[in-house]
Amino acid sequence: MQEMVRTNDLVLLGAIEALLTSADIGHMVADAHMSVLEGSIGVFPRRLLVVDEDVLRARRLLTEAGFGAALRDAD
C-alpha cells in the first residue's frame, strides 16, 4: 500500500474515500482512531493508503476530480 493523502480534514478525506469506493479502488484510512490518544482535538493527521496496483488509477481519478493538491508526492 502507498500513502496518497495525509490530512486532518475529515470532509476532504470523506470525499476522497467516496470517489475511491465508487471507482472500486482498494484503500484504507490509517490512524483514524488516534483521537483516543489525542483527546479528539485533531492533531494527528489521518493517512489514506491505496493498494499498489491501484495507485496510478487513484492518482488520475483524484487529480481529475480536483484533489490533486492534496496528493502526496509519488515515490
Q: Which pLDDT does position 4 carry in this prediction?
A: 94
Q: Which pLDDT does position 44 carry in this prediction?
A: 80
pTM over cut 0.85: no
pLDDT in tens, 10-63: 899 999 999 999 999 999 999 877 756 655 566 788 999 999 999 999 999 999
The full DSSP string for 10-74 is HHHHHHHHHHHHHTT--EEEESTTTHHHHTSS--SPEEEEE-GGGHHHHHHHHHHTT-GGGBPPP
- Domain 2-70, CATH among 1.20.1730.10, 3.30.70.360, 3.40.50.150, 3.30.70.790: 3.30.70.790
